């Protein structure tokens, strides 16, 4: 769970989901009200983690599994990703930008 850089309070699962599902990059801390931003590392981990939803396609490529089973896996995996996503979120007091020239 994310921890505020300013007041060091740990956010709850519900607060994390509520703050990260908005379109605004800035999230205000529910305890101190300071603006917090999801780190670039955290965004990358979450993006890679969400690729798990494509796992049924990989199974289909190697094994002969019925389409019903594969299609039923997709919503199950989506729910698992939604439930575990807040555990991957890390926040910072400063907004980070992708630097394409950074080696």
Domain boundaries, the chain: 13-92
Question: In which residue are the tokens 């519900």 written?
Answer: 14
Give residue for tokens 């575990």.
84
* Closest to 5 (Cα-Cα) out of 44, 31, 41: 31
- Which of 97, 98, 81 shows the shortest CA–CA distance to 89? 81
pLDDT at 26: 85
DSSP secondary structure code for residue 50 in this structure: G
Under 8 Å between Cβ of 6 and 35 = no
Output the pLDDT for position 103: 53
Structural contact between residues 39 and 91, judged by C-beta atoms closer than 8 angstroms: yes
Residues 40/15, Cβ–Cβ less than 8 Å: no
Express each pLDDT in 47-98 by its tens digit: 888 888 888 888 888 888 888 888 888 889 889 988 898 888 888 888 877 7
pLDDT grade for 15, boundaries at 50, 70 and 90: confident
């Amino acid at each position: 769970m994310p921890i505020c850089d300013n007041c060091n309070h740990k956010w709850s699962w519900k607060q994390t989901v509520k703050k990260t599902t908005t379109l605004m990059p800035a999230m205000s801390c529910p305890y101190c009200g300071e603006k917090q931003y999801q780190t670039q590392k955290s965004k990358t981990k979450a993006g890679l983690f969400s690729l798990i939803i494509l796992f049924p396609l990989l199974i289909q490529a190697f094994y002969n599994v019925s389409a019903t089973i594969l299609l039923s896996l997709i919503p199950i995996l989506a729910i698992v990703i939604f439930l575990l996503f807040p555990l991957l979120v890390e926040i910072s007091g400063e907004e980070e930008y992708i630097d394409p020239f950074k080696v």
